[in-house]
Amino acid sequence: MGIDGPWVIIDDSFRTRGLRIEMNRTYITTPIYYVNAAPHLGHAHTTVMADILKRYRCMLGYDVFLSTGTDEHGQKNQEAAAKSGLSTDEYLTGQSDAFRRAFDLLGVDYDFFVRTTRPFHKTQVQFIESRLKETMAPDGEPLIIQKLYSGLYCSGCEQFKRDADLTDDGFCLEHPNLRAEQTEENNYFLRMEPYRADLVTYVEKNADFVQPEQYRQELLVMLSQPLEDLCISRPKARLSLGVELPFDPEFVTYVWIDALVNYLTNVNWPDPSYETRWAGVEHLIGKDILKTHGVFWPIILMAANVPLPRRISVHAHWLGAGGQKMSKSLGNVVDPFEVIETYGASALRWFLARNMRVTSDSQISVDLIRATYNTELANQLGNLLQRLLKFSAARFDGCLPASDLDPKDNEHLKAIRQLVCNAYSANNLPSEANGFEPVELASIPKMAEDLLHAIGLMNEYVTREAPWTLIKEPANASRVQSIVYANLDGLRMVLEGLWPIMPDIANRGLAMLGQAPLELTGSPRTTLAGGRHEFIAGRLVGGARIGVIETLFPRIETIA
Ligand SMILES: [Zn+2]
């Protein structure tokens, strides 16, 4: 089955349940972010990875819808709004706009930016809650129950606390003067235990449901113990910023159902048009929210009779300098906006793509970003492109060299092309075997590495063949032309390959080579203009006039 194949129906119980599937249509989600603080590196990371994955798959001919957005309900947001001195609405709008601007600045081409305060979302949260309220669990008992919740409550935080959030003496870590009080509160709960066995079977049967495998095993461990009921409400007296429960106006929805249901409402669920996107949905998450996405969410969906997500792709976290958790007191917090200000969004995207890992935490610091920027981007990529273009302009009368290739240079160009193709085909040729997932989150660093390797080979080649020396003998003119053409054409393919990671830099480089930019098209912008991209040697137009040669990565010295 090719990617342009007809509708396929896979009957696989919870997974697809007769959903209409289009092989080349996929849907990537990021978590939605609390607006009680400014966007930080963690938000930038997941959202940029989602964008890279989207562009990467679009290059392979897929139609990819990307959603992100802001979670604007709950206690923390309500408190932050109160402190801000603004009206709640003004506060939430201002904060949500800050996230949207941040993702624009990072070059993220999202197709839908959800605000959980939007009316359609709130209506559908109530719709699913009404459905759940009427549902009987597999054990024949009601799914949603009301009961007293008792626990240790901090009046400063206005939250129930876990033992880990308290000192040995029972004082709140955030309010050292307040001892958490044993408190009882009436709330609604969703019973999860009746679904545990089905979920375990599902996770065991679908080896790719959670990627990579390490997290699937963690999920199975979480599911090896009985599941506690999930609290889904807060009394309005305590929390007003939330979606009112459709079956009890004294309560608002507490966090999870409200937040997670965005993945459905973003694609118009329950309108049947949601189906073709939902059939290929992949949730990108950090490892800290595996339980909410791997346990709570599938059970909510099973209970509401909605097919489970196709895949949950998990990544690890970033540590600051010295491998320690970032914190203000250690002074090792990396502010993505300061990095963008100095190095540009592309350099940050490159660093994240090249160094992120899905199974283990990676280190990030401004020093590491500067070193990567200078050695990999400025010295290797930017310098090679600029040197070859300036040489070509000087030697070939302001033009690119002619395209006739010496056999040796032709072999070199073929090797470069192969590396670029490898970057795109490690696990990614669409086939029945891998279904919808042409490229995995985990393969992004490998892609960056393959492309960097190609750039390294070209640098070595040019240094070894030394066209600047050869040119001194008039008899070498055609060889010099061939060397320069082969490497500029190789750079063109590398720039095309880099487009998912650094779209802005790639297109600026391509423009210097007289090439049209790579762009997303459609409404929403879910496909690559021109369709599936092929890496074909010889597309550089020999003899074309060279435009303005710019410096893609101005060298940045350490600021003393
Ligand atoms: Zn507290």
From residue 502, give the alpha-carbon distance in Å to each of 123, 155, 236, 353, 537. 38, 47, 46, 10, 21
Say yes or no: 307 and 372 in one domain. no
Q: How far is the CA of 241 from the centre of ligand 1 (A)?
A: 19
Say yes or no: 430 and 307 in one domain. no
pLDDT in tens, 396-451: 999 999 999 999 999 999 999 999 998 887 544 444 444 444 578 999 999 999 99
Angle between helices 345-355 and 41-59 (to 10 degrees): 80
Say yes or no: 66 and 135 in one domain. yes
Q: What is the pTM of this model?
A: 0.93
Q: How far is the CA of 157 from the centre of ligand 1 (A)?
A: 4
Are 229 and 145 a contacting pair, CB within 8 Å?
Answer: yes
Q: How far is the CA of 163 from the centre of ligand 1 (A)?
A: 12
Determine the structural domain holding residue 508 and report its residue range: 368-528
Q: How far is the CA of 264 from the centre of ligand 1 (A)?
A: 34
Q: How far is the CA of 175 from the centre of ligand 1 (A)?
A: 4
**pLDDT of the residue at 438:** 57
- Count of domains observed in the chain: 2
What is d(CA 377, CA 401) in angstroms, rounded to the nearest whole number?
25
What is d(CA 58, CA 46) in angstroms, rounded to the nearest whole number?
18
On whether residue 203 sits in a domain, the answer given is yes
> What's the number of CA atoms in the CB half-sphere (13 Å) around residue 504?
16
120: part of which helix (H) or strand (E)? Answer: helix 119-133
On whether residue 61 sits in a domain, the answer given is yes
**pLDDT of the residue at 428:** 47
On whether residue 324 sits in a domain, the answer given is no
- ∠ CA(22), CA(215), CA(223), 5° rounding? 100
160: part of which helix (H) or strand (E)? Answer: strand 159-161
Write out the two tokens for 499: 């487009």
Q: How far is the CA of 158 from the centre of ligand 1 (A)?
A: 7
Are 443 and 359 a contacting pair, CB within 8 Å?
Answer: no
369: part of which helix (H) or strand (E)? Answer: helix 366-372
Q: How far is the CA of 323 from the centre of ligand 1 (A)?
A: 29
On whether residue 303 sits in a domain, the answer given is yes
Say yes or no: 307 and 376 in one domain. no
CATH assignment at residue 32 = 3.40.50.620
**Beta strands at 281-286 and 311-315: parallel, antiparallel or unpaired:** parallel
On whether residue 125 sits in a domain, the answer given is yes
Torsion of Cα atoms, 79 then 81 then 86 then 89, to 10°:
-130
On whether residue 554 sits in a domain, the answer given is no
Residues labelled catalytic: 40, 43, 154, 157, 172, 175, 325, 328
On whether residue 548 sits in a domain, the answer given is no
**What SS3 string covers 482-501?**
HHHHHHHHHHHHHHHHHCCC
**pLDDT of the residue at 269:** 95
Q: Distance from CA of residue 539 to its chain's centroid?
A: 31
**pLDDT of the residue at 240:** 92
Say yes or no: 425 and 295 in one domain. no
Say yes or no: 287 and 431 in one domain. no
Q: How far is the CA of 174 from the centre of ligand 1 (A)?
A: 5
**pLDDT of the residue at 18:** 67
Other Cβ atoms less than 10 A from the Cβ of 148: the count is 8
On whether residue 226 sits in a domain, the answer given is yes
Closest Cα partner for 267 from 312, 208, 315, 307? 307
Are 91 and 560 a contacting pair, CB within 8 Å?
Answer: no
Say yes or no: 310 and 399 in one domain. no
Domain limit, last residue, from 293, 315, 337: 315
Q: Distance from CA of residue 34 to its chain's centroid?
A: 17
The amino acid that residue 263 corresponds to is: Y
Q: How far is the CA of 151 from the centre of ligand 1 (A)?
A: 14
Q: How far is the CA of 535 from the centre of ligand 1 (A)?
A: 57
What is d(CA 267, CA 29) in angstroms, rounded to the nearest whole number?
11
Say yes or no: 289 and 379 in one domain. no
**pLDDT of the residue at 33:** 97
Write out the two tokens for 99: 């996230």
Domain limit, last residue, from 295, 315, 335: 315
Say yes or no: 372 and 303 in one domain. no
**Beta strands at 25-29 and 281-286: parallel, antiparallel or unpaired:** parallel
Q: How far is the CA of 172 from the centre of ligand 1 (A)?
A: 5
Write out the two tokens for 105: 């600045």
Q: Please identify which residue in the block is written with the tokens 């089955």.
A: 1
Say yes or no: 295 and 375 in one domain. no
Domain limit, last residue, from 315, 343, 376: 315
**pLDDT of the residue at 197:** 95
- 416-431 as b/e, with b when 16 or more CB fall inside 10 Å? bbebbebbbbeebebe
Q: How far is the CA of 167 from the centre of ligand 1 (A)?
A: 11
Reduced to 3 states (helix: H, G, I; strand: E, B; else coil), residue 423 is helix
Are 257 and 128 a contacting pair, CB within 8 Å?
Answer: yes
Write out the two tokens for 20: 């209409």
- State phi, psi for 392 to the nearest 5 degrees: -65, -45
What is d(CA 444, CA 351) in angstroms, rounded to the nearest whole number?
11
What is d(CA 95, CA 555) in angstroms, rounded to the nearest whole number?
34
What is d(CA 10, CA 487) in angstroms, rounded to the nearest whole number?
47
**pLDDT of the residue at 17:** 64
Q: How far is the CA of 90 from the centre of ligand 1 (A)?
A: 26
Q: What is the DSSP letter of 158?
A: T
Say yes or no: 375 and 497 in one domain. yes
Q: How far is the CA of 38 from the centre of ligand 1 (A)?
A: 21
CATH assignment at residue 426 = 1.10.730.10
The per-residue pLDDT string of the chain (560 residues; one tens digit each, 9 = 90 and over) reads 333 333 444 445 566 666 777 778 899 999 999 999 999 999 999 999 999 999 999 998 899 999 999 999 998 899 999 999 999 999 999 999 999 999 999 999 999 999 999 999 999 999 999 999 999 999 999 999 999 988 898 877 777 888 888 999 999 988 888 899 998 899 999 999 999 999 999 999 888 899 999 999 999 999 999 999 999 999 999 899 999 999 999 999 998 999 999 999 999 999 999 998 998 899 999 999 999 999 999 999 999 999 999 899 999 999 999 899 998 888 899 999 999 999 999 999 999 999 999 999 999 999 999 999 999 999 999 999 999 999 999 999 999 999 999 999 999 999 999 999 988 875 444 444 444 445 789 999 999 999 999 999 999 999 999 999 999 999 999 999 999 999 999 999 999 999 999 999 999 999 999 999 999 999 999 999 999 999 999 999 999 999 899 999 998 876 54
Q: Please identify which residue in the block is written with the tokens 């007293």.
A: 148
Q: How far is the CA of 177 from the centre of ligand 1 (A)?
A: 9
Say yes or no: 301 and 390 in one domain. no
Q: How far is the CA of 79 from the centre of ligand 1 (A)?
A: 13
- The answer to whether the peptide bond before residue 212 is cis (omega within 30 degrees of 0) is yes
Are 428 and 60 a contacting pair, CB within 8 Å?
Answer: yes
Closest Cα partner for 180 from 195, 164, 194? 164
